[in-house]
Chain A
């Protein structure tokens, strides 16, 4: 049993204190930086420099600098996250997966490097594309939107096959049957009934925004045929969406099926703040010993909603329409990943309960230490990209040489913009909360 103490000491020593504290404090500190809108990058830069969860902090930094209109810095940040996705996450061998799993079963998931979600990979390239557009680099923007679409294709494959493979690997664990006990499972899933039901799940885990905004890019780049194909995909996903339908019809006109030489402004609106994770504790029954029912406390991540900003924005009494609900995208992926998260946390709890039992058999102090250790490391992994919006909306107006007056849902003017009428334009508005509005650089289409 001495080996156990040495092993635990070594793992703790090597993995640092996040095993005990989790990542909540860091995420809260970052939240304060965002609320200040101060364009202070030191917090994220320090984390990235220390190579501490580069994917998470570089992604957060990418949005922070984008919100400060520093599009070049934003892409530099996103590049760092993308490099880790390519070099580590995508290529993670079975060997390293096993290694990280073993240690996380003895401690918890917080000691593993953050590997992101599939929707985060898609959004990362989408934002890089938008940044490149703002920098008037349409060549790079095209590459980034193509990447976002390829990430989308890979996400579909991942959820179809790879995630099932990961679940199958867990079946080899000797405690698998105990963790899958019906009563144990019910005690867990009862806490998630509200989250896992009653929301719009997009087919194949596609993020409709990535497809829609890509189609708008190709439209502005005068690649009407590619734009039309993507809008067709968007429409197939949401056949009743008025804005997508209108844009699809416009594409037919622009492609020459009927004459249209007018120019338009698309106003994209990022509304509110997306769902993020928090920890919940629950008491679950474990059937570890014959005839003995053992209750233990399990800490698991759950999602909670954050506020909307303006419900919609409007121009000339035309309201913006929701293109994609980011909360639904996040929920769908969480729901798909959750069985594995719950299973690993339960296996983790079973191992620690066994250890505590054995230590207790040896001496009361050992038992106390075991219980103390279990309590200390009972921490859920609540990391996620927290600077995404709640939903994405769009509206389109014809350019008529008049200023574009954008109003909020209470009819108050948010911004008045004078735009070039000789080409299509993209206006990008972000509002995380009421009163907090960012109007990004106006993007002109190719002439």
Chain B
């Protein structure tokens, strides 16, 4: 009787869960420790960041003949997808890798949309404030202007795949622009593709 009951439950589960395909990466074996979703997740950011870092460092774009380091400012990172994501998840990893490489430093005093760390400017507003020891306040002409700007865009393309599935592709585009010349000296692209059920939207 128990066997019959178990079999019925199993068949019932199969019937009601149906044959909807679970999201999976295109061309990659699924990792077992984390379920795959159709939206951008941590693994996608890691993949994009790792590929970008390797490509950037291998390109020699950050190599300086005089042994000095480039100062890089963070440009605009456009999220052109249907998901509300924090683009810092991608950028932070690239910044860490750039700093670790010893080839570049990142400025937090200038950034598209305003300074990342406002303290650099806030402290300077204390000049002529008698409450503060003036010799401890940063001097004029000490902030480094950036040599380069790192900007990018995350794009998404969704198309129906087969009868029941949809294919979503994420394109992580990064550009390193030499500010003096306005020329892009490095560009990187990383693509992540996933296939899953077309039943619902992917956000």
Contacts and interface: CB of A to CB of B under 8 A. Distances in A.
B199 interface: yes
A93 B81 contact: no
A160 to B, nearest CB: 10
B132 interface: no
Contact of A143 (B79, B158, B198): B79
Nearest to A90: B200
A94 interface: yes
A140 B78 contact: no
Q: Is the interface of A mostly helix, strand, loop or mixed?
A: helix
Interface residues of A, number: 19
Contacts of A47: none
A150 B79 contact: no
Interface size class of B (residues with CB under 8 A): 10 to 19
Contacts of B16: 93, 95
Contacts of B78: 142, 223
B201 A153 contact: no
A418 interface: no
A86 B79 contact: no
Contact of B199 (A90, A151, A223): A90
Most central of B78, B84, B160, B200 by chain A CB within 10 Å: B200
Interface in A131-145: 139-140, 142-143
Contacts of B160: 157
Contacts of B81: 143, 146
Nearest to B199: A91
B158 A153 contact: yes
B80 interface: yes
A275 B81 CA distance: 33
Nearest to A222: B76
B27 interface: no
A150 B158 CA distance: 8
A441 interface: no
Contact of B84 (A90, A143, A153, A154): A143
A151 B203 CA distance: 11
A140 B84 contact: yes
A150 B82 contact: yes
B156 interface: yes
A147 B158 contact: no
Given A140-B84, A157-B160, A147 B79 contact: no
A102 B199 CA distance: 22
26 contacts: A86-B201, A86-B203, A90-B199, A90-B200, A91-B199, A93-B16, A93-B18, A95-B16, A140-B84, A142-B80, A143-B79, A143-B81, A143-B83, A143-B84, A146-B82, A146-B156, A147-B82, A147-B203, A150-B82, A150-B158, A151-B201, A153-B158, A157-B160, A223-B78, A223-B80, A226-B80
Given A90-B200, A142-B80, 14 more contacts: A86-B203, A90-B201, A95-B16, A140-B84, A143-B82, A143-B83, A143-B84, A146-B81, A146-B82, A146-B156, A147-B82, A150-B82, A151-B201, A223-B80
Interface of A: 86, 90-91, 93-95, 139-140, 142-143, 146-147, 150-151, 153-154, 157, 223, 226
